[in-house]
Chain A
Amino acid sequence: MSESGINRRDFLKVLGLGGSSLALTGCGNTDVQSGVEVVMPNVHPEDFVVPGLSVFYASTCTQCGSACGVMGRVREGRVLKLEGNPESKISGGKICGLGQAAVQAQYNPDRLTQPMVKEGDKLVPTTWEKAMALLDDKTGPKSGISGEQFAFVTGATSGHLKALIQNYMDSLGSKNHFVYEAVSPAIGFAANRQVYGVDMPRLHLDKAKLIVSFGSDFLGTGASPVHFAREYAKFRKAPRGTLVQIEPKMTMTGANADRWIPIIPGTEGVFALGVANELLNHEEYVRATSPDIVALVRKYDRETVSRATGVRPELVAHVAALLWEKTPSLVISGASAEGHVHGVQNAMAIQLLNKILGNVGKTVDGQAQSPFPQIAPSAGSFAALKAMNDEMGGGKFKAVFIHGANPVFTAPSFMGFRENLRKAPFKVAFVDAIDETAQECDLVLPILTAVEDFGSHVAWYQPEGVEVSIQQPLMEKLHADTRSMGDIMLDLVKVRRAEEYKAWPDFFSYLKTAVVAVKPVVKYTDTDEHFWYDVLSHGLIQVDAPQQEVGANFAAAALDLSSSAPVQDPKFPFYLIPSERHNFRDGRHANLGWLQESPDPLTTVVWDSWAEIHPKTAASMGISEGDYLEIASQNGMLKVKAYLFPGIHPDAISIPLGQGHEALGRFAQGVGVNPFRILDPVFEKSTGEIAMYGTRVSVRKTGSKETVVKDEGPYNTQLGRKLVVTLPADVAQLSKEI
């Protein structure tokens, strides 16, 4: 408000003056009227179209990588609502808030509606003919571009569009397809591969009596939140399962836990080994563990662990006692345990508990093996962008294509990605709204949204069998000058391989041919046409596939965390926790007003960024809510309002990811700050992934202050009345209960 020069009082004054006229003119038709509005009949609609009655189509949500099956409610040719597809094993007929907001992405007033080309330093509208001619000029056979000189950056990808992109890369003779996700599961995958032999095992939340989660926000973000929320509900049904969450900053999952244990960031692995040490007091666990591991774990006694992690010694024993008492259990590692220099080791130390407790094969087992490697998911990594950025900085690429990622926004400033991107002479972005990366490009092509386009998706977390999720248009395209990403890719492939691809005039026919080819795998015996419509009406192909074998391989050397103590720097005393919010993720959805307006579940703040700081730390620094803080790392500084939050470690500061856009339209631009910018160049040592939780910051109070806009009432006062009787946790003696 203050940036636009209007404060609340002025706003109310204006509302008072203008309110009456608004009531008359701004709210549409307020009286019975005749001959004013026009009602257009359908000319020649499909037989099932009855104006006023909704039709439901099955499709797939593409807001995150979970690939939930959805049903779209369509009325008068417009999609109005998305809900879960009950046939989908992933969504199970439910959908999250992020998915609901996909409808708003469709009708967003800031959608890109025509191709744009850079003239000088401005993007100006152009036509598709000119845009495609320019593409041909710069990347076609006559351009003389070699595969080495071409790069394609995408976000996490799967399905037939991925196959088509791969075919395009092959036609160019290029190996430079970089799959980049700003918040990627790559570190967890690396640990899983070493331990279990698979990227991602299947986690049976519903079979566990106790879940100990080290920073895994499986209910809010992560692999498949809708699926895990449903599994969690089963886990909580009688006999009620117990959830213990160990993390430096409370996530949505942490808020649901029976016991939440704050820990010094990066020491989760040490805590896990401490718990393992306690467990090895039981002879049966010792028998199941190799002697070198036992010897290693014995170094992590309660007191040592407590000194390293900042957790009281008796709590280490307490978690071990719970694990002894409640079997089967499930131990999960998550982002805040993995985003460190020794992230893989941390994750492996955590998974060691599953091995000791005998959970592998019970609550942790293999996912189904996908029989379709060409469309299998690429989950993406930070390392991919780093490799690309290094090569681009050397001036290697003549042309760069970008789709489904916004690296100018999400790449930390130390990488100099924006400057390196400018070195590439021809950059093309395929987007539905102009983001920071598109702004830097020479050609920006408007693509259809997920509810207007065909597609197929395979999630990297498959709860049961392999689900190939099919996406079909829920409505005609809203803007005439937008095109399907698949159609564009097909046109581009045809430039060099016209003969091979001539059978397919568009991506629809390509997808249909590819989907029909699956018929023998699912043992469908009717005609191709029947199969295709069957697949469309169900929105998915469910394939029964053999389960992956899951091992439990631990080497003592890989688990040694004795040298993992964080480096203390008096100039930067605080740990920065860039937290992933369930609705914005890495910031790609910040242009959806519904998501901006829906309050953060823990702080209830809306339309803004904030810095979470522990009340004790705040008190010692004289900080109160709304104080502007300067939060500086070695690589940048952010000015953001303080929010006093007891659910954070006293030595940590948390700023949510996703805000701080310089582009992406009216709802995202200029709202909040972008913590990606100030991340330090700290990398996980074995994977090269950025250590998201490895940045250290200093905090300084600026002196200026502003109200934090939030739904929550006055902090802890209960409006001066005793509305809810509360008891402090130490008085309630929680430890006796959980």
Chain B
Amino acid sequence: MIHRLLAVLSLAFLCGSAVNAEPFVQGGPIGSQTSDGYNALGPVVQQPIDFPHYRHAKDMGINCMYCHTGARRGYVSVIPREDKCIGCHQNIESVKDKPRIKKLFEYWDKKEPIPWKKVNDLPDFVRFNHERHIQRFYFRQDRPVREVCGYCHGDVANMTVDRRVKSLSMGWCVSCHEKDHKESVTNMKTSHGPNECWQCHK
């Protein structure tokens, strides 16, 4: 009985910590299991501001592409322009005195860009196209955005600052490109991703 009670309590504790303890701020060594079931494959990256993805994408339910506006339009997903952050945060009085927001406004007041570190940085000879993937899986197949972005980025909505949790190696890309995927939510015809070298190496 006591064991069962302890198990329930510890489960509740774990669940609570998964939401509030900002799982990747401390992070674990490379290879360690993360709270959402992924393996942390990249190192913990110290960003200029500990951007809480979980607060925006999970707690507030904001679509990833509200900020990463390039993902549906071009090769790069785009780090949001600074005036986009300010556009919302100048109207959110409740968090204005939080250290991260203060830091954001410091950059903004100086009109300096925030020097974010790249987390998912592919080799220079690889050209990954966000648009193709987002158009196929989010718009045509109508899958949830957290799932579609999560194919390559993991469940970022559960992270504070982003950490690489997928291999992003060529073999890993190919393993998905070999599979058949539905054309769209209405078209049941399937096709797999391209496997010509030049699609990525140009």
Cross-chain contact B124 with A30 (CB below 8 angstroms) = yes
Query: Closest chain A residue to B164 by CB distance?
Result: A34
Q: Which of A30, A40, A42, A51 contacts B115 (CB 8 A)?
A: A40
Cross-chain contact A35 with B46 (CB below 8 angstroms) = yes
Q: Which of A36, A42, A45 contacts B118 (CB 8 A)?
A: A36
Query: Closest chain A residue to B74 by CB distance?
Result: A52
Question: Within 8 Å CB of A39, what residues of B?
Answer: 79, 116-118
Q: Taking the nearest CB of chain A, how far is it from the CB of B188, in angstroms?
A: 33
Cross-chain contact B164 with A32 (CB below 8 angstroms) = yes
Interface of A is mostly: loop
Count of A interface residues, CB-CB < 8 Å: 23
Check: A121 CB closer than 8 A to any chain B CB. Answer: no
Cross-chain contact A36 with B121 (CB below 8 angstroms) = yes
Question: Within 8 Å CB of A53, what residues of B?
Answer: 70, 73-74
Query: Closest chain A residue to B111 by CB distance?
Result: A43
Bitwise, A548-583 to B at CB < 8 A (1) or not (0) is 000000000000000000000000000000000000
Q: Taking the nearest CB of chain A, how far is it from the CB of B38, in angstroms?
A: 14
Q: Which of A29, A42, A45, A51 contacts B124 (CB 8 A)?
A: A29
Q: Which of B78, B111, B119, B168 contacts A44 (CB 8 A)?
A: B111
Q: Which of B46, B81, B123 contacts A42 (CB 8 A)?
A: B81
Question: Within 8 Å CB of B78, what residues of A?
Answer: 41, 50-52
Q: Taking the nearest CB of chain A, how far is it from the CB of B151, in angstroms?
A: 16
Query: Closest chain B residue to A43 by CB distance?
Result: B82
Question: Within 8 Å CB of A29, what residues of B?
Answer: 121-124
Question: Within 8 Å CB of B114, what residues of A?
Answer: 40-41
Cross-chain contact B168 with A32 (CB below 8 angstroms) = yes
Cross-chain contact B75 with A52 (CB below 8 angstroms) = yes
Check: B23 CB closer than 8 A to any chain A CB. Answer: no
Check: B148 CB closer than 8 A to any chain A CB. Answer: no
Q: Which of B43, B76, B163, B168 contacts A51 (CB 8 A)?
A: B76
Check: A3 CB closer than 8 A to any chain B CB. Answer: no
Query: Closest chain B residue to A35 by CB distance?
Result: B45
Check: A27 CB closer than 8 A to any chain B CB. Answer: yes
Question: Within 8 Å CB of A32, what residues of B?
Answer: 42, 120-123, 164, 167-169
Count of B interface residues, CB-CB < 8 Å: 38
8 A Cβ contacts from B45-63 to A: 45-46
Q: Known: A29-B124, A36-B117. Is A44-B45 also a contact (CB below 8 A)? A: no
Cross-chain contact B116 with A38 (CB below 8 angstroms) = yes
Cross-chain contact A43 with B124 (CB below 8 angstroms) = no
Question: Within 8 Å CB of A34, what residues of B?
Answer: 42-43, 45, 117-121, 163-164
Check: A529 CB closer than 8 A to any chain B CB. Answer: no
Check: B80 CB closer than 8 A to any chain A CB. Answer: yes
Check: A500 CB closer than 8 A to any chain B CB. Answer: no
Query: Closest chain B residue to A53 by CB distance?
Result: B74
Cross-chain contact A50 with B169 (CB below 8 angstroms) = no
Check: A37 CB closer than 8 A to any chain B CB. Answer: yes
Cross-chain contact A27 with B111 (CB below 8 angstroms) = no
Check: B93 CB closer than 8 A to any chain A CB. Answer: no
With most chain A CB atoms within 10 A of its CB, the pick from B45, B83, B118, B125 is B118
Q: Which of A33, A35, A45, A52 contacts B81 (CB 8 A)?
A: A45
Query: Closest chain B residue to A54 by CB distance?
Result: B74
Q: How far is the CA of A35 from the CA of B117 in the complex (A)?
A: 5
Cross-chain contact A41 with B168 (CB below 8 angstroms) = no
Q: Known: A50-B69, A51-B78. Is A31-B83 also a contact (CB below 8 A)? A: no
Query: Closest chain A residue to B81 by CB distance?
Result: A42
Query: Closest chain A residue to B166 by CB distance?
Result: A32
Cross-chain contact A51 with B70 (CB below 8 angstroms) = yes
Query: Closest chain A residue to B119 by CB distance?
Result: A34
Check: B113 CB closer than 8 A to any chain A CB. Answer: yes
Cross-chain contact A41 with B118 (CB below 8 angstroms) = no
Query: Closest chain A residue to B78 by CB distance?
Result: A51
Q: Taking the nearest CB of chain A, how far is it from the CB of B119, in angstroms?
A: 5
8 A Cβ contacts from B63-91 to A: 69-70, 73-76, 78-83
Cross-chain contact B118 with A44 (CB below 8 angstroms) = no
Q: How far is the CA of A33 from the CA of B70 in the complex (A)?
A: 21
Cross-chain contact B43 with A35 (CB below 8 angstroms) = yes
Question: Within 8 Å CB of B112, what residues of A?
Answer: 43
Cross-chain contact A41 with B42 (CB below 8 angstroms) = no
Cross-chain contact A52 with B168 (CB below 8 angstroms) = no
Q: How far is the CA of A119 from the CA of B28 in the complex (A)?
A: 62
Query: Closest chain B residue to A33 by CB distance?
Result: B121
Q: How far is the CA of A30 from the CA of B124 in the complex (A)?
A: 6
Q: How far is the CA of A51 from the CA of B78 in the complex (A)?
A: 6
Question: Within 8 Å CB of B74, what residues of A?
Answer: 50-53
Query: Closest chain A residue to B69 by CB distance?
Result: A50
Q: Taking the nearest CB of chain B, how far is it from the CB of A649, in angstroms?
A: 47
Q: How far is the CA of A28 from the CA of B201 in the complex (A)?
A: 15
Cross-chain contact B123 with A31 (CB below 8 angstroms) = yes
Cross-chain contact B79 with A41 (CB below 8 angstroms) = yes
Cross-chain contact A44 with B82 (CB below 8 angstroms) = yes
Question: Within 8 Å CB of B81, what residues of A?
Answer: 41-45
Query: Closest chain A residue to B108 by CB distance?
Result: A43
Question: Within 8 Å CB of B122, what residues of A?
Answer: 29, 32
Q: Known: A43-B82, A45-B81, A50-B69. Is A37-B121 also a contact (CB below 8 A)? A: yes
8 A Cβ contacts from A1-48 to B: 27-45
Q: How far is the CA of A360 from the CA of B114 in the complex (A)?
A: 67
Q: Taking the nearest CB of chain A, how far is it from the CB of B159, in angstroms?
A: 13
Q: Which of B70, B80, B82, B121 contacts A52 (CB 8 A)?
A: B70
Q: Which of B42, B70, B168 contacts A50 (CB 8 A)?
A: B70
Q: Which of A27, A44, A51 contacts B83 (CB 8 A)?
A: A44
Q: Which of B44, B76, B117 contacts A37 (CB 8 A)?
A: B117
Question: Within 8 Å CB of A36, what residues of B?
Answer: 117-118, 121
Q: How far is the CA of A221 from the CA of B183 in the complex (A)?
A: 53
Q: How far is the CA of A716 from the CA of B37 in the complex (A)?
A: 69
Q: How far is the CA of A1 from the CA of B113 in the complex (A)?
A: 45
Q: How far is the CA of A28 from the CA of B122 in the complex (A)?
A: 11
Query: Closest chain A residue to B168 by CB distance?
Result: A32
Q: How far is the CA of A31 from the CA of B46 in the complex (A)?
A: 20
8 A Cβ contacts from A50-102 to B: 50-53
Query: Closest chain A residue to B84 by CB distance?
Result: A41
Question: Within 8 Å CB of A41, what residues of B?
Answer: 78-82, 113-114, 116
Bitwise, A622-637 to B at CB < 8 A (1) or not (0) is 0000000000000000
Q: Taking the nearest CB of chain B, how far is it from the CB of A37, in angstroms?
A: 5
Q: Taking the nearest CB of chain A, how far is it from the CB of B50, in angstroms?
A: 14
Cross-chain contact A37 with B82 (CB below 8 angstroms) = no
Q: How far is the CA of A391 from the CA of B112 in the complex (A)?
A: 55
- Pull 28 A–B residue pairs with CB atoms less than 8 Å apart, ordered by A: A29-B122, A29-B123, A32-B42, A32-B123, A32-B167, A33-B121, A34-B45, A34-B121, A34-B163, A35-B43, A35-B118, A36-B117, A37-B117, A38-B115, A38-B116, A38-B117, A39-B117, A41-B78, A41-B81, A41-B114, A44-B81, A44-B82, A44-B83, A44-B111, A50-B70, A52-B70, A52-B74, A52-B78
Closest 7 CB pairs of A and B: A35-B45, A34-B42, A52-B74, A52-B76, A41-B79, A40-B113, A28-B124
Q: What 13 new A-B contacts, CB under 8 Å, besides A32-B164, A41-B82?
A: A29-B123, A31-B123, A32-B120, A33-B118, A34-B117, A35-B44, A40-B113, A40-B115, A41-B79, A41-B80, A44-B81, A44-B82, A52-B70
**Taking beta carbons and an 8 Å cutoff, which residues of A are in contact with B?**
27-45, 50-53
